[in-house]
């Protein structure tokens, strides 16, 4: 394990005014996104879409790294330049999703456990050779009647720590992502309680399993009202609750914190990030690792005419990257959206 390299990659991932572009949708998820815009999910369409995103001019100005899927890290532009090369040339660190998805947790109706530890050491070695310098593993925690159970939270935390230790052995920075889902009618307080318990379990396991925190990035879900809650918390309330929850449960030594968007609208996700960064000084950078909230406007425009709308779709992505880059420094204003 090269500690110095891990720490410097982690620092670069959360460099000032930059965040991560998550384009690691699995085959099933990208098919769902394409279906919504009437695009068939063929390998060529997936390749063309990701080429459009990754070749956006000056993307590296606000994007420090991008998370790829197994298929994507092996793909190239139409002109035959590998995506990894395109990213390296743009100063964007290649990352890779390595989990094998969240599956039903046996004996626990309504809950999920993330799989993918078998053979992970060998897969990490291959990804490192392909150019990956960081990885992602997503665990899913669902809020509902009598869930999450402690056993689900603990089993997922244990797997996240096993994954993180294997990553660091391979000189790959682990992004640990315990996503507390926004789905449901739960309150801000319930989201706080579950998120805090999840983070405490996770950091306990990272400690138990000798994971270097300075070379690890947390991908957190915000403390937010459920999407079907009757009284949804304001931007300021979400920002304050999220920061308080992190301060309660995340060690100061951690390399950095990035957020997922989890179904928030693109502008909502930006406003929340900005409000957090206006609050105070924290021991870690707070920035973004958005999937939908960075891609949505771009995907929509591209889908209307993939052959003709590449430049227009790239403009949409560049705009969202800039808005979120500003939000990561607490310098975003809603009026910039119109500009």
Residue number, 181 or 212, with CB nearest to ligand 13P = 181
> Could you tell me the smallest distance in angstroms from the CB atom of residue 210 to ligand 13P?
25
Helix axes 43-54, 27-35, angle to 10 degrees: 80
CA dist 278 to 239, 260, 327, Å?
9, 19, 9
Contacting residues toward ligand 13P, per CB under 6 A: 22, 24, 138, 177, 260-262, 290-293
Residue number, 283 or 326, with CB nearest to ligand 13P = 326
For 181, the token pair is 């889902």
Query: DSSP assignment, residue 255?
Result: S
> Could you tell me the smallest distance in angstroms from the CB atom of residue 263 to ligand 13P?
7
> Could you tell me the smallest distance in angstroms from the CB atom of residue 290 to ligand 13P?
4
Q: What's the rounded Cα separation, in Å, for the pair 234 and 254?
A: 28
Catalytic residues: 177, 219
- Helix ranges restricted to H, the chain: 3-13, 27-35, 43-54, 83-89, 120-130, 150-169, 188-208, 235-249, 266-277, 292-304, 310-327
Helix H or strand E segment including 66: strand 63-68
> Could you tell me the smallest distance in angstroms from the CB atom of residue 261 to ligand 13P?
3
Residue number, 66 or 233, with CB nearest to ligand 13P = 66
Q: Are 209 and 165 a contacting pair, CB within 8 Å?
A: yes
> Could you tell me the smallest distance in angstroms from the CB atom of residue 262 to ligand 13P?
4
Query: DSSP assignment, residue 39?
Result: -
Q: Is 34 helix (H, G, I), strand (E, B) or coil?
A: helix
Residue number, 32 or 78, with CB nearest to ligand 13P = 32
Q: Which of 262, 160, 260 is nearest to 216 (CA)?
A: 160
Residue number, 23 or 326, with CB nearest to ligand 13P = 23
């Amino acid at each position: 394990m090269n500690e110095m390299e891990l720490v410097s990659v982690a620092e670069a991932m959360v460099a000032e005014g930059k965040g991560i572009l998550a384009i690691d949708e699995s085959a099933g998820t990208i098919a769902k996104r394409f279906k919504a815009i009437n695009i068939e999910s063929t390998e060529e369409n997936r390749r063309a879409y990701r080429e459009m995103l990754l070749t956006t001019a000056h993307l590296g100005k606000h994007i420090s790294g991008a998370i790829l899927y197994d298929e994507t890290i092996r793909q190239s532009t139409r002109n035959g330049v590998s995506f990894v090369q395109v990213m390296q040339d743009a100063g964007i660190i290649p990352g890779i999703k390595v989990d094998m998805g969240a599956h039903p947790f046996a004996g626990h109706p309504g809950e999920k456990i993330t799989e993918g530890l078998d053979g992970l050491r060998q897969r990490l070695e291959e990804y490192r050779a392909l150019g990956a310098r960081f990885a992602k593993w997503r665990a899913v925690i669902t809020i509902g009647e009598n869930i999450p159970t402690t056993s689900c939270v603990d089993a997922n935390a244990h797997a996240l720590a096993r994954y993180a230790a294997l990553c660091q052995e391979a000189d790959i920075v682990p992004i640990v992502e315990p996503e507390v889902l926004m789905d449901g009618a739960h309150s801000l307080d319930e989201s706080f309680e579950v998120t805090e318990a999840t983070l405490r379990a996770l950091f306990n396991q990272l400690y138990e399993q000798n994971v270097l925190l300075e070379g690890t990035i947390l991908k957190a879900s915000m403390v937010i009202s459920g999407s079907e809650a009757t009284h949804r918390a304001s931007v300021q309330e979400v920002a304050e609750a999220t920061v308080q929850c992190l301060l309660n449960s995340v060690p100061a030594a951690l390399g950095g914190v990035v957020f997922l968007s989890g179904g928030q609208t693109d502008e909502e996700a930006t406003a929340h990030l900005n409000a957090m960064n206006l609050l105070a000084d924290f021991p870690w950078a707070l920035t973004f690792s958005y999937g939908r909230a960075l891609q949505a406007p771009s995907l929509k425009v591209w889908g209307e005419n993939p052959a003709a709308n590449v430049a227009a779709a790239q403009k949409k992505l560049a705009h969202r990257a800039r808005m979120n880059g500003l939000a990561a420094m607490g310098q975003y204003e809603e009026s910039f959206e119109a500009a």
